[in-house]
Amino acid sequence: MNRMPAWADAVLVPLFSILLAALISALVILAIGEDPVEAFSLMVDGALMRSSGWGYTLYYATNFIFTGLCVAVAFHARMFNIGGEGQAMIGGLGVALACLYIPWPHWTIALIGATFSAALFGAAWAFIPAYLQAKRGSHIVITTIMFNFIASAVLNYMLVNVLRPPRAMDPATGPFPEATHLPTFQDMFATADNPLFRGSPANVTFFIAVLACIGFWFLIWRTRLGYEIRAFGHSETAAKYAGISPVRIIVVAMLISGGLAGLMALNTTMGEAERLVMNATEGAGFIGIAVALMGRSHPLGVFLAALLFGFLYQGGAELALWTSIPRELITVIQALVIMFTGALDNMVRMPLEKLFLLFGRGKRT
């Protein structure tokens, strides 16, 4: 099977997949009568050439790092967690309850408390599908999909009937108290004569996301638990033979996965909106799938893929603002990335393998 060096499999296959996705996206833009080159430069302009653009790009990237890691840790245990969206919704509930009902003295302590609460709620929401998969063999993909819908119903109920302040119209909590407001990049980096990141939502949660990436790497490749998760992912029978309990690995991996998805709510709910709204997740749970696939379940890859999707999100918003290209173009690009990196990867890999085989043979003779 080792026809291709590992670096080529890790770098070239995703690279070609992205190029293919980009090519098709360019064709789509052409087909709707716009100029793809101009569209791309508009996106770069809006997302990367101004510090406020970066502020949005990093804000979105923060969400996608969390949800990407959420999907990635499940991938390592050979499970497909489509439930990141629902786990993030319930994580948002955890953040809102912590922020609204506990009188925090300072945002640093509030952030620590809310982090625990978000992770706890997200993990709790992943627990039932994990338990059912481990103990009763119910397919985790289907149960997590169902739990997304149930989560949205739970959140809807909580916002409309419980958390909505009296006489408010929209289904949302009241604003969080002042002491829980997180510093944004503008608060941290802007000076009087150099107004960086003006008005953009990127906040201190980004650093938690970076910490999560490092922690993820350490967990998966430097701890016993991480080894067990990977061993289970490679071969369940071998893992069992080595004395690793499948039930424990499935449940623990899913708890970590759900916890990471829940953390995403810190960024959207505590960092940006400063209250819990109905559609706080905005599909980021699903984008995590694309991010994890593209990042090949490695934290560095997830980080880079999250940046790319952050750029696409912010750039897509700019496109929708200045051209007639709707924001849904980003959904199409996302779908193409998932398709090429996740399902059609053999289509890219097979010709590449042939190429390497040809090249390798040429060197030998």
Partner 1 sequence: MDLDTLIQIGGSTIRLSTPLLLACLAGLFSERSGVIDIGLEGKMLIAAFFSAAFAFSTGSVWIGMLAGIAASMALSGLHGLASITFRGNQLISGVALNFLASGVTVLIAQVWFGQGGRTPSLMQGGRFEPITLPFAEALRGVPVLGPIYADMISGHSFLVYVALLAVPLTWWTLYRTRFGLRLRAVGEAPEAVDTAGVSVTGLRYSSLVITGVLCGLAGAYLATGLQAGFVREMSAGRGYIALAALIFAKWRPWYALFACLLFGFLQALSLRPDVVESVVSTTIPVQVMDALPYILTVVILAGFVGKAIPPRAGGEPYVKER
Chain residues binding partner 1 by CB under 8 A are 28, 32-33, 80, 82, 128, 132, 136-139, 141-143, 145-147, 149-150, 153-154, 156-157, 160-161, 286, 289, 293, 324-326, 328-336, 338-339, 342-347, 350
Place of tokens 């193409």: 336
Q: Please, what is the minimum distance in Å from the beta carbon of residue 335 to partner 1? A: 4
**Other residues' Cβ atoms within 10 Å of the Cβ of residue 168:** 12
- Contacts (Cβ under 8 Å, ≥6 apart) of 133: 79, 139, 140, 143, 250, 254
Q: Please, what is the minimum distance in Å from the beta carbon of residue 153 to partner 1? A: 4
Q: Please, what is the minimum distance in Å from the beta carbon of residue 224 to partner 1? A: 29
Quick check: 65 and 304 in contact, CB under 8 A?
Answer: no
Residue 29 is which amino acid?
Answer: I
Relative orientation angle of helices 84-101 and 140-157, to the nearest 10 degrees: 30
Q: Please, what is the minimum distance in Å from the beta carbon of residue 277 to partner 1? A: 16
Q: Please, what is the minimum distance in Å from the beta carbon of residue 238 to partner 1? A: 19
> Which segments of the chain does DSSP mark as H helices, in order?
6-7, 13-31, 36-48, 51-76, 84-101, 107-131, 140-157, 185-189, 205-222, 224-234, 236-241, 246-265, 284-294, 299-322, 328-338, 345-364
Quick check: 294 and 308 in contact, CB under 8 A?
Answer: yes
What distance in Å separates the CA atoms of residue 114 and residue 100, rounded to the nearest whole number?
Answer: 10
What distance in Å separates the CA atoms of residue 171 and residue 157, rounded to the nearest whole number?
Answer: 9
Q: Please, what is the minimum distance in Å from the beta carbon of residue 198 to partner 1? A: 30
